[in-house]
Amino acid sequence: MNKIMKQVIRLIIIILVTVLVFSCAGTADIVDNEEPPLVESEDTVIDTSPVDDAEESKPNIEADDERIGSSELSASKSKKEDSLSAPAVLPMESLKSVDISSSGEEEVTFYEEDPSVRGTAPTAVSGRTVSPAPSESGLKAGYSDDNRQFNYFVKFLEDYKDVSHLPLDISERIIITLKDSEGKSIPNALIQIKSGGNILKNGVTLADGSFRFFPSLYSKDLQNFEILVKDPASGKKTGDQFTRDGRRQIDLTIGTSRQLEDQIPLDILFILDTTGSMGEEIERLKATIQLIHLNLSSLSTKPLLRFGLVLYKDDGGEEYRTQIVHLTDNLDEFQSKLNLVEAYGGGDTPEDLQAALEDSMKEIKWNTDGIRLAYIITDAPPHLDYGQGYDYTKASIEAKERGIKIHSVGTGGLPLDGEYILRQISQFTSGRYIFLTYGEGGESEGGAAGSVSHHTGANFQTDKLEAIIIRFAREELANLSDKPLDLDDPFFEANKIETEQKEETLDTLFNMAMEQLRDYSSYTVDSKTKAAVVPFSYNPNDLSLDSEYFTERLILSSEAADIFKLVERKDIQKILEEQNLQLSGITEGEDAITIGQILNADVLITGNLFKKESAFELFLRLVRVETGEILSVTRSVIDGKLGIR
């Protein structure tokens, strides 16, 4: 019996060894045949295979100016997991190619084709989760324009005022715009604002001819102001006077034709956080900088394009605090220096963005006769505890004076105080706040699926980060071109579906439209603001019943939503007839003031209804009664089946 048992045991051992050998051989074959994934953008190929922690390398970038800071304060917070976790991988079906072509322009547009759907999760290496390759996420980004949705931004600042930040009061804003005799914008014009003979502000106009002035930064005792503007090309001057509580938009004209260089200088500076959690963003920039250059340099305007870098980490314990790659028109030189940048280090959550901003303003040699754009890219707020004399508010003020737009990019894991500060900087300098969405849905989705859509989500649009960078630069250049860029304005769309009553669909639509009127207002309005809804004008004449129906539906949905405080509207038609006013004549100016005063309203909501093929098109306007100014506009496309008939 013992002999039989020994034979059985020997047989089992032989079987186990055989299975183990074949299993190991199979694994070896899999490993030998596996190839690292590649990212391809145009003719640039980058190996994105995982790197072992032990082989982590540090940057060896050659910069014209290098400054290594010493530690002033130690911090106790840990950097946001410092690459220990990665954002969810976006489904590839949701990513778009880099298509920034505009209708009506004969421009060459280059594309980066989306790779095939892989559906792979981040790979675990040495106990650490590695961020997905740039091709898999595409760094899908959303952006919000806090200058366009100004009222919303003011409310955001108020709602979260307890987070760590520095004061930069922009609650009062007046936009000054300079045009030539043909209505074209005049960039880089010298502007000066005075009060009581004292100079308050010097600056230059942006590419669209605008300059934003914030009276809230100055004493309430200052009520009257004077503008002086000089066109540097022609030497001609103009000016105007305004009051603190008066017009929010002041348009100036100089009686000359705009004079521009044949090629417009365009500077793009990346202010880049290079701590350990920024690896994916840095790799994406490396992979797409040639794509960005190709799209912009191929425009008919042929801009004189330069790229630069200000890299930053923190004070103490790092190889550098900030490091500069000066603006250059040599793409190969810039790419070679960018390729040396690696993400490493960190430790505490804040980084020294303020030192990087100081270098960006004091050390970078910006052009003075073209377009100047900067992009902060970070996942951390700045240190505010270093006692720096030159802080981010001073950098913002200087950037604004010099016409440098600072866009900011908040990447995955950016805390609220970081978002708050980035949005302060961008809004003040007329830039925009960009955030990596990682597949989040729009907050404004409502109603039954397919009934109402808002093409910009909750007042933001999404695309790949490089496509947004290209788009913003093209917008600037279009202001200085005789061929304006045809950009898609945000609009709402309502469709009739069987599972929802048309009143429900329209209520959802009008709630969203009214919210946008409020958010985009250039003057502070809220649920206490007294608003009167004026009957919509219409074209053609057979839309009278639809116009009346949509007007009544808008009033009912607005009363329920409590977006404004609607004033009584019993005899508004009679009032209009008594004043001998046509509906089309009360959207602005003296008529709006007259009607608003009669109705005891702060603002009017007016509309124009049109019929186009099988749909209605409705434009809503928010008009300030005190000045007759149009504060904001929305556009809605409504399925014809949602009308009265």
- What residues form DSSP beta bridges with 165? none
pLDDT at 104 over 50: no
- By C-alpha distance, which of 230, 303, 617, 348 is closest to 478? 303
pLDDT at 116 over 70: no
Average pLDDT, the chain: 76
pLDDT at 141 over 60: yes
Give the residue, 91 or 573, on which the prediction is more confident: 573
587-618 pLDDT, tens digit each: 455 666 777 888 889 999 988 999 988 999 99
Quote the DSSP letter at residue 164.
Answer: S
Strand-by-strand arrangement of the 174-179 sheet = 210-213, 174-179, 249-253
Give the residue, 391 or 349, on which the prediction is more confident: 391
Task: Say which amino acid occupies 20.
Answer: L
Distance CA 12, CA 9 (A): 5
Q: What is the mean pLDDT of residues 287-313?
A: 91
Q: Which residues contact residue 574 at a Cβ distance below 8 angstroms, ignoring those fewer than 6 apart?
A: none
- Helices 392-401 and 416-428: crossing angle in degrees, nearest 10, is 20
- 532, HSE (Cβ side, Cα atoms, 13 Å): 28
Give the residue, 32 or 393, on which the prediction is more confident: 393
Share of the chain above pLDDT 70, in %: 69
Please report the pLDDT score of residue 22 as a whole number.
43
Of the pLDDT bands very low, low, confident and very high (cuts 50, 70, 90), residue 178 is: very high
HEC string of 374-434 equals: EEEEECCCECCCCCCCCCHHHHHHHHHHCCEEEEEEECCCCCHHHHHHHHHHHHHCCCCEE
Task: Say which amino acid occupies 408.
Answer: S
> Based on the number of CB atoms within 10 Å of its own CB, is 600 exposed (0-12), middle (13-18) or buried (19 or more)?
exposed
CATH superfamily membership of 137-170+262-440+461-482: von Willebrand factor, type A domain (3.40.50.410)
Please report the pLDDT score of residue 568 as a whole number.
73
- Helices 465-479 and 279-297: crossing angle in degrees, nearest 10, is 40
End-to-end CA distance of the chain: give it in Å, rounded: 96
> Poorest-confidence range of 11-20, 162-171, 590-599?
11-20
- What residues form DSSP beta bridges with 623? 604, 630
Q: Is 644 helix (H, G, I), strand (E, B) or coil?
A: coil
Please report the pLDDT score of residue 306 as a whole number.
97
Give the residue, 126 or 3, on which the prediction is more confident: 3
User: Would you state the CATH architecture of domain 492-642?
Assistant: 3-Layer(aba) Sandwich (3.40)
- What Å distances lie between residue 112 and 99, 120, 287, 320, CA to CA? 8, 21, 11, 34
Q: What is the mean pLDDT of residues 313-335?
A: 90
Tokens representing residue 597 in the block: 């005063």
pLDDT at 233 over 90: no
Distance CA 591, CA 427 (A): 33
Q: What is the mean pLDDT of residues 460-476?
A: 83
- 117, HSE (Cβ side, Cα atoms, 13 Å): 8
> Poorest-confidence range of 288-292, 519-523, 537-541, 592-596?
592-596
> Poorest-confidence range of 213-222, 224-233, 320-329, 551-560?
551-560
> Poorest-confidence range of 170-179, 246-255, 314-323, 394-403?
314-323
> From the centroid of its chain, how far is CA 34?
40
> CATH for 171-253, among 3.30.1330.20, 1.40.20.10, 2.60.40.10, 3.90.1570.30?
2.60.40.10
- By C-alpha distance, which of 385, 394, 373 is closest to 417? 385
- What Å distances lie between residue 221 and 11, 70, 248, 580, CA to CA? 99, 44, 19, 41
Q: Say if 137-170+262-440+461-482 and 492-642 have the same CATH topology.
A: yes
- Extents of the domains making up the chain: 137-170+262-440+461-482, 171-253, 492-642
Tokens representing residue 345 in the block: 């280090």
> Poorest-confidence range of 5-14, 326-335, 359-368?
5-14
HEC string of 339-380 equals: HCCCCCCCCCCCECHHHHHHHHHHCCCCCCCCEEEEEEEECC
317 close to 348: Cβ distance less than 8 angstroms: no
